[in-house]
Amino acid sequence: MAIRISLARAVAACAPAFALTAAVAAPATAHDVAFSAAVTSTATLPAIPLAAFGVAGDRGIDLGGIGSDIFPAGRPGEYWTVTDRGPNGQIKVGKDKRRTFPTPGFDPMIVKVRAEHGELRVLASIPITTRSGAPVTGLPNQLPHDEQPYTFDASAPLPLNPDGVDTEGLVRAHDGTFWLADEYGPSLLHVSAAGRVLARYVPHGLNLTGTGYPVIEALPAVYAERKVNRGFEGLGLLPGGDLVIALQSPLSLPDKASGEASLTSRLLRFSPRTARVVGEYAYRFDPVSVVDPGEDDPSELKISSVVGLGPHTVLVEERTDRAARLYVADLRRATDLLGGSYDSAVTSPSLEQLADPATAGVRAVPKQLLLDLTTVEGAPKKIEGVALPDPRTVVLINDNDFGMTDGPEAFDADGRLVDSGIPTTLVTLRLSRPLPRGGH
């Protein structure tokens, strides 16, 4: 890569051991805000051509998308971030919407940044690769489970790649390796400090073959019923080392319409020590009109970030593209669904169809509203990354989609990007009071 900034040996980061000590109750309401916050600094990523990162034929696209997640890197103002699958859009052809990849050679990467003097500086970039060092790329894996990829103008299909990942969630473990959440499988990736995929954990029965790294079927099979482009998004590291993974949206059970109408998504607890899922929980969104006043479509709701707090508590971001709220959720007080009837795709009604899971004996994860980000002047839109470097600081980063928009007008007559003008922005907030240490 032309910009291949060397990485110094990083100090291993650990999950913060703090959380709200107040009782966690559900559901939250618009008047339950426990904290307020104010912006203390903003840092913007400058224009850096993707060609500088080894992307041939970058079509005038700059580095972006690194706001898919964020994790403290140990030093003040420094963070690990991750791109998603790369520049992509949709163009309608006839009755179908085709998923386009204008730079199909783009390789998702982990990017270390520093926020200083209003600028987000790139300190290092780590491409994600197979065991042999080949780029994994961001191309979909297999049909019909994934979308068929197309060229930038939707005129021709592109080849699939079983190694491809749509990375979203990111944490750095004590041993310096990374764990990443992926939307395609959905899957959980364990990645070395150098970016090589050590293992990819996928749902039972996915039958993903031909990869350049080990694939382990360790997740409940029902997770293969994820909505397209709405697999795993949030990933949190608990103080004891376990991971909490969030589905961005409800599963499509028994069908797409049921999933889009549902307010029930799911969280998984995964033990890296035993390499297995150790818990599964129902997570209930607040009504979409509460999260985003004026919106009436529940399918716009997404979980985009999870942050580990105490041994059993996590911070969860619920959002639309225009609004976002942060909640503290307590896994201990929820029904563990792992291995039960709701892990079957034939259970009727499905968990997603239940208007109130409690009527079927399922207690969703209790939660308490921490902060309504729409009330914070200067907070960005489409926030996908949230970090808590200390008990009184919240760091937000947006996903600018590499400046991409949908439709044929995204590129000019020469096939170069007509940039949306939305930058990648990291915003630091100071809470009105600190989160108590210790947690639950």
H helical segments located in 239-336: 256-261, 288-291
How confident is the model at residue 257, as a pLDDT? 96
pLDDT interval class at 34 (50, 70, 90): confident
| Residue predicted with more confidence, 374 or 34 | 374
The arithmetic mean of pLDDT across residues 371-395, rounded, is 95
Backbone φ and ψ of 375, nearest 5°? -90, -5
Q: CA-to-CA distance for 73 and 76, rounded, in angstroms? A: 8
Average pLDDT over residues 81-92: 97
> Residue 282: CA atoms inside 13 Å, Cβ hemisphere, count?
27
Q: What Cα–Cα distance (Å) separates residue 113 from each residue in 74, 243, 345?
A: 12, 23, 42
Report the pLDDT value the prediction gives residue 33, as an integer from 0 to 100.
53
pLDDT value, residue 18: 54
* Domains of the chain as residue ranges with CATH: 37-408+415-431 (2.115.10)
**Sheet of strand 89-93: strand arrangement:** 89-93, 96-100, 149-150
The per-residue pLDDT for range 288-343, each reduced to its tens digit, is 999 999 899 999 999 999 999 999 999 999 999 999 999 999 999 999 999 999 99
Separation CA 183–CA 216 (nearest Å) = 16
- Mean pLDDT over the full length of the chain: 92
